């Protein structure tokens, strides 16, 4: 574009420079630039999984850290996650074809009686940004919705969110149902939402309480790695 000499021509950058530029573009929530960069790396012969882990997950890790440290806020993280989604839409079918390894999988939803979803949506996006496969059940989920999704998708993680003190106890209903059915140990159960705290998470039998999306990603990674190691040892 002649009128703007400062514009970076993505195709002119070498691989390392392009990945660094993708980190910046993700941070700034530039979806079109991310989509273009993904296409450029694919054309250069990069494997979809390498683009996902080195460029997209690498960039979102920086976003997650700055969100956790209070440098970035929810609107900026949502923009970054949206840019990440643009890249993921290109890579997803290719990743499925190549049978690329996944970080893990998660079913997440806001519990029955609760229609708040900004925090949950942020967790979904950040988890996808970290390479997890995420099934989002939306809001107001009775226990049956969770059970059906667990049967259908067989995830590593069940995530539940609540923003009202009146709906928080419903998380225990879901966990108790899993215990009754002898399935509680099949899943890593993570809970979150503004009124919750660590004590509440322990009291209802969750594996962990996550105070925000960045912590949820770190917690999920740690638990899934532990689970895989235990299976490998077993």
**Domains recognised in the chain with CATH numbers:** 9-100 (1.10.1240.10), 102-234 (3.40.50.280)
For residue 82, with 0-12 CB atoms within 10 Å meaning exposed, 13-18 middle and 19 or more buried, which class applies? middle
What are the pLDDT tens digits along the chain (234 aa)? 334 446 889 999 999 999 999 999 999 999 999 999 999 999 999 999 899 889 998 999 899 889 889 999 989 998 998 999 899 999 988 887 877 777 899 999 999 999 998 889 889 988 888 889 999 999 999 999 999 999 999 999 999 999 999 999 999 999 999 999 999 999 999 999 989 999 999 999 999 999 988 899 999 999 999 987 888 787
- pLDDT in the model for residue 228: 78
- pLDDT in the model for residue 1: 35
Q: Name the β-bridge partners of 135.
A: 107
Tokens of 127: 């988890």
- pLDDT in the model for residue 15: 97
CA distances from 74 to 6, 62, 213 (A): 29, 14, 10
Q: How far apart are CA 141 and CA 231, in angstroms?
A: 31
Task: Say what the pTM is.
Answer: 0.77
């Amino acid at each position: 574009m002649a009128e703007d000499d400062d514009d970076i021509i993505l195709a002119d950058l070498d691989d390392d420079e392009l990945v660094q530029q993708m980190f910046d573009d993700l941070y700034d929530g530039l979806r079109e630039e991310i989509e273009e960069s993904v296409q450029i790396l694919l054309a250069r012969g990069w494997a979809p999984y390498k683009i996902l882990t080195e460029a997209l997950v690498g960039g979102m890790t920086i976003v997650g850290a700055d969100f956790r440290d209070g440098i970035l806020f929810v609107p900026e993280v949502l923009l970054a996650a949206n840019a990440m989604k643009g890249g993921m839409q290109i890579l997803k079918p290719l990743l499925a074809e190549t049978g690329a390894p996944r970080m893990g999988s998660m079913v997440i939803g806001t519990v029955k009686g609760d229609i708040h979803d900004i925090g949950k949506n942020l967790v979904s996006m950040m988890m996808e940004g970290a390479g997890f496969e995420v099934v989002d059940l939306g809001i107001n989920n009775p226990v049956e919705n969770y059970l059906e999704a667990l049967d259908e998708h067989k995830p590593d993680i069940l995530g539940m969110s609540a923003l009202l003190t009146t709906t928080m106890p419903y998380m225990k209903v879901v966990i108790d149902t899993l215990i009754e059915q002898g399935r509680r140990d099949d899943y890593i159960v993570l809970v979150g939402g503004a009124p919750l705290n660590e004590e509440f998470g322990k009291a209802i039998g969750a594996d962990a309480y996550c105070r925000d999306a960045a912590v949820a990603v770190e917690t999920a990674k740690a638990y899934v790695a532990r689970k895989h190691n235990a299976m490998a040892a077993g």
